[in-house]
Structure 1
């Protein structure tokens, strides 16, 4: 009896082994189909990115190779008058305005976002994860035009009354952008802080460190690459924002002398003027050159993010 049971078991194992070793045409076809679809999707994404880059570059470089505008004058001149005689294509005020409003938004939003992430993960995790985090994530879904309209109706009049200025200013743009990028910074920083191993916290507390010393010297130090990634992501969004900023900054090509002066950015300059130009004219090509600058800055932000991600992975 035992020999018969052992024989049946051996035959069943042999049958299973033969099935596993047998060439399965259907499985092979499914694997090849899935791999082909995945490769086609990846290739399509690469083609789309290269096509967009080529299209913008071909349009933007026409300003220098077809219209004869000097690259140095284009980047450093402070006078923008494409319809004048002679035409002037100085985009330095737009570049400066984009960097200033992005830097101001990051300076305001980074401490608030990282502080909120610390509160939600280290100080009051129950309330933070159940109430505060969902509320902050809801801000991501608000359209940018809503932020701009709120800034236009509340923030601009407030600045005008308090400082006796026009109200449309670098400060208004920075505050609106800070509110827009705050959810991004908070969410990414929260994930980075939560990824810190609990053993590091326990070891710090066991050595006699207070909770704040543990947060400052251990948790934040370990999550620093992730927090920097959060700030860079927020800056990337702020640098490319158009509508919300356009509604509150005043859109003037003069260089700002203070936070209360109106400015203009690359995005606002493109959106305000592109509809008033004719394809192929020097004016239109200059706007495409500004779009090319935005694309190059996007690549720079992506490279910074890749570097920070690699550094975090190595650590």
Structure 2
């Protein structure tokens, strides 16, 4: 009787787990179908080359133009800036927390890192408008609303992802690696940077890729500090305003209709494909690490 009841409970839980997994898969399929069924026809009507490689965006102009190249470049610039700022700081912080941080300090720093992950993006945007933008304007140049300001804010926003995953990966390295290195006469710093961190490279790369995904998909904070201006490619500079793919969607979707609305959804398709590429890269990194 007890075995029968246990078997029934096991089957019920298996069904619950299966339905949970199925719901996740169906959600991804539904989102994918919506994007591609609404976005691909717009790309076909506009023309793939004209949509991706044309830098002129003017849906209300006569004739209308739907080129997103400048926004693709803007997204790449802002994301690259966020990586240049956030990854080194995040990796160094993760190494400190995992290898050098005293217990009393860890109790303060770790909750602060976790708190960064819970701050709404709108708060980061306010911080950028009130602190970063004036600082850039007064000390570096331009009007403050620029690629640099957006990169700084995004660099701060990806810190929790980079720090948490990198720290976990570093802590997961077997202790025998460090013991062997120290036994051969290496210093603590040499052991950490030449043995432990390279051994955790899969997790570190994972944190970077996930951080890139966060930076690429961020909207609200970027629209508040980047200036939200569509710039010709020759005028895209570090201290100039910029519009990214995400900010373009959120700025114009409220009043768009017809082909204009479809072109914004098609912009979402481009973002979605980029995220798929990131996730595929993450899977390849993990599979390669598992083989090694």
Per the TM superposition, whether the score is higher than 0.5 is: yes
How do residues 54-65 of structure 1 correspond to structure 2 at under 5 angstroms?
Answer: 54-65=33-44
* Paired position in structure 2 for 1:14: none
* Paired position in structure 1 for 2:21: 42
Larger Rg over CA atoms: 1
Which of the numbers 244, 250, 253 marks the counterpart of 2:227?
250
Are positions 1:74 and 2:51 aligned together? yes
* Paired position in structure 2 for 1:263: 242
Which of the numbers 140, 147, 163 marks the counterpart of 1:163?
140
Question: Post-superposition shift, 1:27?
Answer: 2.6
Q: Is the 8 A contact 2:236 2:242 kept in 1?
A: no
Structure 1 residues 132-156: Cα deviation after superposition (integer angstroms, max 9, x where no partner):
1111111111110000011001111
CA distance in 1, matches of 2:110, 2:3: 49
* Paired position in structure 1 for 2:273: 296
TM-score of the pair, normalised by structure 1: 0.88
Are positions 1:179 and 2:179 aligned together? no
Structure 1 residues 183-216: Cα deviation after superposition (integer angstroms, max 9, x where no partner):
1101111001101111110110110111111111
* Runs of 4+ displaced beyond 4 Å: none
Structure 1 residues 57-86: Cα deviation after superposition (integer angstroms, max 9, x where no partner):
111112134xx2110110010100111121
How do residues 117-132 of structure 1 correspond to structure 2 at under 5 angstroms?
Answer: 117-132=94-109
TM-score of the pair, normalised by structure 2: 0.95
Are positions 1:142 and 2:115 aligned together? no
CA distance in 2, matches of 1:108, 1:164: 19
* Paired position in structure 1 for 2:4: 25
Which of the numbers 73, 91, 95 marks the counterpart of 2:72?
95
CA distance in 1, matches of 2:248, 2:193: 42
Cα RMSD for the two superposed structures = 1.5
Distance 1:177 1:211, change over 3 A: same
Aligned residues: 290
Q: Is the 8 A contact 1:119 1:125 kept in 2?
A: no
CA distance in 2, matches of 1:64, 1:168: 31
Which of the numbers 216, 219, 222 marks the counterpart of 2:199?
222
Question: Post-superposition shift, 1:128?
Answer: 4.7
* Paired position in structure 1 for 2:256: 277
Question: Post-superposition shift, 1:163?
Answer: 3.1
Are positions 1:115 and 2:92 aligned together? yes
Question: Post-superposition shift, 1:177?
Answer: 0.3
Structure 1 segments unaligned to the other structure (5+ residues): 1-21
Question: Post-superposition shift, 1:232?
Answer: 0.9
